Amino acid sequence: MTTAFASDPVSTIAPVPTPAVSPASADTNYPPAERAAVDASARGPVLFFFGNGLLWLMLATVLGLITSIQLAYPSFLADVPFLSYGRIWPAFTNTLCFGWGSLAGLGVTIWLLARLGRVRVKLPGVLITGAIFWQVGLTYGIIGILGGKTTGLEGLEIPTGSAILMMIGYGLIVVWALMLFSFRSQSTPFISVWYLVAALLWFPWSFALAHAARFLPNVTGVMQGLVAAWASQNFLSVWLTAIGLAAAYYLIPKVVNRPVHSYNLAAYGFWSFILFTGLTGAVRLSGGPIPAWVVTLSIAANILLLVQIVTVTTNLVLTMRGQYHMVYHSPTIRFTFFGAIAFTVASCLSLFASLRSVDRIVHFTQFQNAETQLIIYSFFSMVIFGAIYYILPRLVGCEWLSSTMITIHFWGAAYGGGLLVVVLLLSGLATGYALTDPAATVRQIIETSSVYLAGAILGWLLIAVGHLVFGLHFLLMLLRIGQPGGEPTLFSPIGEEAKH
């Protein structure tokens, strides 16, 4: 077993001196030839994860667009049972989270663990088999949801049978990824690795426990709801967030060619994240029929998370200090830094919305969808896009063909996603205030959101354009149609100081 992930012979013959302090800059201390060998070993599975993740993203885009049209025009596709809103909506959220989010996130995870651990991926077929199991389960699950077969638990709609297939696939992937971690040749793990290991370990337990809770004796009624809320909050706030932050902690220092500003801040951020995030789940049922202390605990955890928000933001922004011009040049930085800022905004918004005085207004409204949208799309997906722009040229051996296409993708994703979030926030506030007015009739409450619905459709259309262009660009890269390798494709040329 030890040979399966043995580190490169070069390092055993002439070990690179391990720095006394934790490595602030990630993987610059080993030769480019070895880096290329690590990249080559990861190529198959990482391309497979990215490619499949993108297909799920395309499906999610179509489904998201349909739901936004249905909210404005309730008759749209209403006569087709499997396309009615009540089925398209959960199909959309599950496709986005478990299709795009998980696969693209795992692709980034595998590449980062190999790169940062200075270890080659052996037997990549195991990872690909895992991804196939995951997707077969997910496909059955989505078909089930569209056919009306669902667990009825929000965030965990995929029927348990399909979920078991997904878990088998995930098991293969996580074992292989943790092997990369334990056979790494860099003894002190970089901060990104901490987040990745946390994500890998948290997800399966929380997902499996939430499904098990449906069948365990005596777990009835609101307990199932609480466990489902806890698990889906964990998925968003632990799993997606951890992978997004891991990628941001890697990419930003790497591209601006500076070490992470402070390793101590990074450590404080990580430990407060891992300690408090898992306690925030009950805010989803705030004011609901669960014991009040659980909600109070979750609100307190949300407030304590301020430590993480401040430390992570400070650290990433200070790492960028003096290099902000890179957002004009480097696609990777533009996407990743946008995502990092969106993380801060999303976290502050979630904290704000969890306070009882705010929650009583915005609960049950589109405001909560805006929070989710910010985390999944404006933060996580943008960082992952940035990561794909960085990683893909290193896997296929050529650079992105067109900076114009990257620009269109960015504007579509940033403006479309941003517009969607703003529209959902305003709509949520309007509905929320109407809901707190006892004299408002149901019709008046519904009307508050109607002016914003067109904005949501426009947002989705912009996102769709961005994704189409990105999908095409990705396909061209797979066909090796691009600029010759060596220099990254930039929006505009930069001075000598910041090349990477």
Distance of closest approach, residue 286 Cβ to another protein, in angstroms? 8
**Residue 475: strand pairing partners:** none
Distance of closest approach, residue 102 Cβ to another protein, in angstroms? 18
Distance of closest approach, residue 336 Cβ to another protein, in angstroms? 24
- The yes or no reply on residue 5 touching another protein (CB under 8 A) is no
| Contacting another protein within 299-318 (CB under 8 A) | none
Nearest to 11 by CA among 1, 27, 23: 27
- The yes or no reply on residue 227 touching another protein (CB under 8 A) is yes
Spatial CB neighbours of 367, under 8 Å, sequence gap ≥ 6: 353, 424, 425, 427, 428, 429, 432
| Contacting another protein within 308-367 (CB under 8 A) | 356, 359-361, 363-366
Instruction: Read off the tokens for 255.
Output: 């591209």
Nearest to 254 by CA among 374, 118, 116: 116
Q: Single out the residue of 289, 484, 486, 493 in contact with another protein (rule: CB under 8 A).
A: 289
- The yes or no reply on residue 288 touching another protein (CB under 8 A) is yes
- The yes or no reply on residue 179 touching another protein (CB under 8 A) is no
Q: Report the residue number, 321 or 356, with the smaller CB distance to another protein.
A: 356
Judge whether 197 and 109 are in contact, CB under 8 Å: no
Judge whether 206 and 235 are in contact, CB under 8 Å: yes
3-state secondary structure of 386: helix
Q: Single out the residue of 274, 303, 355, 498 in contact with another protein (rule: CB under 8 A).
A: 274
- The yes or no reply on residue 285 touching another protein (CB under 8 A) is yes
Q: Report the residue number, 18 or 404, with the smaller CB distance to another protein.
A: 18
- The yes or no reply on residue 190 touching another protein (CB under 8 A) is no
Q: Report the residue number, 411 or 433, with the smaller CB distance to another protein.
A: 433
| Contacting another protein within 136-165 (CB under 8 A) | 148-154
In whole angstroms, give the CA distance from residue 174 to residue 180: 10
| Contacting another protein within 423-442 (CB under 8 A) | 431, 435-438, 440, 442
Residue type, 377: Y
Interface mask toward another protein for 61-90; x: CB under 8 A? ---------xx--xx--xxxx--xxxx-xx
Cβ atoms within 10 Å, residue 438: 5
For the chain, how are helix, strand and coil distributed in percent, rounded to 5?
A: 75, 0, 25
- The yes or no reply on residue 271 touching another protein (CB under 8 A) is yes
Q: Report the residue number, 371 or 399, with the smaller CB distance to another protein.
A: 371
Instruction: Read off the tokens for 364.
Output: 């049950």
Count H helices and E strands in the chain, helices first: 20, 2
Distance of closest approach, residue 221 Cβ to another protein, in angstroms? 4
